[in-house]
Amino acid sequence: MKVVLQTSWNTAAAWRAELLRQAPDLEVRLWPEIGDPAEIDVVLCWQPPPDLFAGMRNLRLIQVLGAGVDGLLRKVPVLPPVPIARLVDPVMAQRMAEYCLYATLRFHRRFDLYERQLAQARWERHQHLDPPEIGVGVMGLGAIGSTVVRVLRQFGYNVAAWTRSPHPDAEVPVFVGGEGLPAFLARTRILICVLPLTPETASILDRRVFEQMPRGSYLVNAARGEHLVVPHLLSALETGRLEGAMLDVFAHEPLPKSSPLWRHPKIFVTPHTAGITNPRTATAVIVEQLRRLERGEPLLHLVDPARGY
């Protein structure tokens, strides 16, 4: 099987080495040195250039190297008529859950206030509620969102989820669609976004959402920067509607040094590190996908381009 590997990360060599270690029979070609494009069976990619698939008339599968496919769908306006799969790595989901747990603990236990007091050498204790009294709302209940919910519940938090479609087997209360959003937000003290980025979810974290949350709430965005309307967040922080935010993703990355998000005392910035893809663990998932393709078996985690996930 002939595979093209393309990634915007500086990790192509590591990916190729791991693929060949776990599947020595593969022929892995690094973009752009791919030889005859008509020979390619599979493309493994992340935020590809628009011409990546030119001439690949025998392509059988596009496997994205991340949990989201928005980079592919936005950058390549006309895709080959082949299956598209996203990467669902349980290890990555666990890393995302760890990030969301840390953010929840940080706000619940008021560590954000203690960080500000540190610079002033100020000794002042702050009361905090017990976990069952903290309403945590998780937007998104896919592979990542489900893991976030499970981990937070293990720590006793009062967790609910908001999704586009019903999840009758979910282990927490689920609020669905536009009709369920107001009630979901009203009970959410800490809002965690792990939604896929689609036309429907772009700019979803806006003034309308913040105004429906309890005063003094918190925002955690570990999904995509385009989910957040930054001026609305800054306004909500200034008025006290929100008390703090922890942001891992941004519409422009790296986050420009001129951004006010760096300097706002109530915002904690991390450099898109919540769930970094690990080539070692992710390759095991990808190799299983390739073996399924070879055997003619159903493929895993296929994407509906019309829905965006």
pLDDT digits (tens, 9 = 90+) for 95-127: 999 999 999 999 999 999 999 999 899 999 999
pLDDT of residue 305: 92
Instruction: Give the domains, in start order, of the chain with CATH numbers.
Output: 2-89+278-295 (3.40.50.720), 90-269 (3.40.50.720)
pLDDT digits (tens, 9 = 90+) for 12-28: 999 999 999 999 999 99
272 catalytic per annotation: yes
Sheet order of strands, 135-139 included: 174-176, 158-163, 135-139, 190-193, 217-221, 242-247, 267-269
pLDDT digits (tens, 9 = 90+) for 172-184: 999 999 999 999 9
Please, are residues 233 and 210 in contact by the beta-carbon 8 Å criterion?
yes
224 catalytic per annotation: yes
Prior bond of 24 cis (ω within 30°): no
Vertex 176, ends 174 and 182: CA angle to 5°? 95
Of 106, 224, 232, 241, the active-site residue reads 224
Of 60, 187, 272, 292, the active-site residue reads 272
pLDDT digits (tens, 9 = 90+) for 254-281: 999 999 999 999 999 999 999 999 999 9
For the chain, list residues with pLDDT below 50.
none
Prior bond of 254 cis (ω within 30°): yes
Sheet order of strands, 42-46 included: 27-30, 2-7, 42-46, 61-64, 84-85
**What are the residues whose beta carbons fall under 8 Å from the beta carbon of 301, sequence distance 6 or more?**
85, 86, 87, 88, 143
pLDDT of residue 256: 97
